[in-house]
Chain A
Amino acid sequence: MGKSRVLFGVLSALVVASAASAGGSGTPGVTAKQILIGGTTPLSGPASAYASVAKGADAYFKYVDDHGGVFGRSIKYKYDDDGYDPSQTIEKTRELVQNDKVFAIYNTLGTEQNLAVRSYLNQLKVPQLLVASGASTWGNDYKKYPWTIGYQPSYRGEAAIYGRYLAKTRPKARIGILYQNDDYGKELVAGLQRGLGKKAKLIVSKQGYDVTDTDVKSQIARLKSKRVNTLMVFATPKFAIQSYSSARLLGWRPLVFVNAVASASNTMTIAALASSKRQTEGSISIAFLKDPVNPRWKGDKAVTLFRSILKKYNGGEGLTDVYNVYGMSSAFTLVDALKHAGKNPTRASIMRAVTHLNEHNNPFVLPGIVVKTTPTSRFPITQARLERYHDGRWVYFGSLVSVR
């Protein structure tokens, strides 16, 4: 098996090489005036809330185009609806690559969705850039999939921070976990265990929920009955809010750790409304982006820019939505990489650029965070700050921590 696989690898490389040479000299998707990139995002179906990740990026590209583009070329970002169904991701991606002839696939959303097209894109040597998912495989498996790179801090790394923090500050905690029962939730659970190290036995109960559940009342009641005093919420915003309100209905107030996907300021505001101010007080999370609602960033240049871009290019929608900030931050990094990919970028040169990032000036991430990669270290964002919810807002504490 092993030998024949190698043989096949060589053969397919030859096929690809001959196909590439037969295809002529021009780089797909790059003309004198424009660079065409594409990706998929859920515009319909259960995950439509994440559409802002593409919309924020798109608005930023339009802003860049109005300011001269990159080497005189505008960036056209074509994002198609996959309804969060991986089989549609495949179909839409194939259309983007083969019919629209995009330069690269960028910012496609979702773990399963990106896994579904990774082999295909790598075999065709089409870059799969800044994948919008925190699974650790994007950064870890680059030897097998050299044309793929992620963006955000990995879920595992994030939860490991909570684990290390708990092991140090609350060695007698009774930890309970509410997690989403899929890869996303399970990566967070695994990261927490890694961070706790020898203290992993502090975890007294793990309760999963399914995205199709109506509520998490049963799981929260179970965690309370296990006398948990430290609750890890590894969930999406909707279920994170529900865990606060269900805990309040039980008259239960544990210390809550809530993961970054579910801890945006506007989510926490709703959580406090749906439960009580006392219920959310003292919660802990991490952040790596500037949250547009956080008063800490009132008057900040990047947040002002963020608002003006959304007003001009997105009809003024999503001004409080941190997923839009994510999209802009990611778009900023792509533009930065394109500037380093040369006057006439090729698929190989953009891969070289995104694996040699050293970005000190990304305005959308927290001050001090450097977006940095090398060919062997492929997690662009590996820093974040711990934050504590106090008096209706997130307050950072401690210095930058490493999300590894």
Chain B
Amino acid sequence: MLLAVDWAGVAQQVVAGLSSGGTYATLAVALVLIYRATGVVNFAQGELAMFSTFVAWTLTRHGFAYWPAFVVTVVASFAGGVALERVVIRPVERASVLTIAIVTIGLFFVVNGAAFWIWSPEVKSMPNAFSTRPIHVAGVAFSISDLGIIGVSLLAVLLLWLFFRFTKLGLAMRAAALNPDSSRLSGIRVSWTIALGWGLATALGAVAGLMAAPPLGSFDQNFMQPILLYAFAGAVLGGIDSALGAVVGSLALGVFLNLLGTYVSWVGTDLRQGVALAVILGVLLVKPAGLLGTATVRSV
């Protein structure tokens, strides 16, 4: 399998993997955020990111440049996320986690369908945030765009860490997620912190979509589905309660998928998804809280 190694080829696969992993990372951070703020996994997270991306695409078609469209979309997505929580999640706030998960599955269908309905199913393309001119170093090609995307996800991690660590609101959100009942008693408006969590996660999802879509070259209404799967896997691999873990997990996953698909011939491209997920499962069995997650102490 690995007899005649072409090192430039391997290095190129690693770079391509980091580049793909970078597109999973920001969404993975969004998943971590909403998990920490609300204790649920949002199955519609990827579709909301897709929807935001289409909004930005519409803006760029109406004369906006990339970055102004980016800012408008992220702000609008925050508002949209809060509104969505108020309308759809609020009524089931105290229901079981499973009920909320099913509501997000329902949202998944609604948002995906609505995007097809509003924007026709033809593939779209939008301008890049960063330069994609190839840079060659020792026979390996990469671009500013690859670095920029990973940089943005790390920046998001830093901002979130600062927010949760040092702001009153951030602390309130963490408390509300950990123990809603006693938080209520201590005067935290739990319902609103959850709405805020949705707003932040949707805004971050918009960032993820806007980072992921342009360098793909083309995207359609389903482009976030595989990214959500890998982001989910990356977040769990890194430890679902660690934002930095989510970035590390996503990048590792991107590289691992490429090397597996390219150099292990019986896996190839068709089985790499399954094998990669199986390996993550193996990691979890050894280290159930993920690479960088905190283990919950459970005495049995």
Give me the interface of A with B, judged by CB distance under 8 Å. Answer: 44, 46, 48-49, 51-52, 181, 207-210, 212-215, 217-219, 221-222, 224-225, 237-238, 241-242, 244-246, 248-252, 266-267, 270-271, 273-275, 317-318, 320-321
Contacts and interface: CB of A to CB of B under 8 A. Distances in A.
B121 A213 contact: no
Interface in B222-272: 222-223, 225-227, 230, 257-258, 261-262, 268-270
B19 interface: yes
Contacts of B141: 249-252
Given A210-B269, A217-B16, A266 B122 contact: yes
Given A225-B9, A318-B120, A321-B122, A210 B134 contact: no
B16 A218 contact: yes
A270 B262 contact: no
B197 to A, nearest CB: 26
B12 A250 contact: yes
Given A212-B273, A251-B141, 11 more contacts: A49-B122, A49-B123, A208-B268, A214-B227, A221-B12, A221-B16, A242-B217, A245-B217, A249-B134, A270-B125, A271-B218
Contact of B121 (A51, A215, A246): A51
Nearest to B124: A270
Interface in B2-41: 6, 8-9, 12-13, 16-17, 19-20, 23-24
Majority secondary structure of chain A interface residues (helix, strand, loop or mixed): helix
A244 B217 contact: yes
A237 B218 contact: yes
Given A218-B16, A241-B125, A318-B120, A275 B268 contact: no
26 contacts: A49-B220, A52-B121, A181-B269, A210-B269, A214-B23, A214-B223, A215-B20, A218-B17, A218-B257, A219-B269, A221-B9, A237-B218, A238-B219, A238-B223, A242-B217, A245-B218, A246-B217, A248-B132, A249-B142, A249-B145, A251-B134, A251-B136, A271-B218, A274-B125, A275-B217, A320-B122
A267 B17 CA distance: 26
Interface residues of B, number: 47
For B221, B222, B223, which residue has the most chain A Cβ atoms within 10 angstroms? B222
A225 B262 CA distance: 11
Nearest to A222: B262
Interface string B112-142: 0100100011111100000010101000011
A242 B218 contact: yes
A48 B6 contact: no
A238 B230 contact: no
